[in-house]
Amino acid sequence: MHSVDLLEEALQVAMNSGFEVRQEWFNEQGGGACRIGEQKVLFVDLSLTAQEQLEHVVEALRRWPINVDETTSPELVALLMQQA
């Protein structure tokens, strides 16, 4: 599966897990996840390549409880389960 497809799937998992996804230009700073009040927010840096964005999103999601189900691809599950 291509990085773009995995990134889109990872962002969908994030949204299904209650994250607000904000895709913005952060000048290659990376982004990440945080809680603002009661809302979980995932920041994605559009200045990075799709592969780099995927790496940052997966790294952020590993730190939070997320909803992975039978529709999640084995490739994404493997990335989420890897140790950093």
pLDDT in tens, 14-59: 999 999 999 999 998 888 999 999 999 999 999 999 999 999 999 9
Whether 73 contacts 9, CB under 8 Å: yes
What global pTM score does this model have? 0.91
- What are the extents of the domains in the chain? 3-81
Measured in whole angstroms, how far is the alpha carbon of residue 48 from the centre of its chain? 13
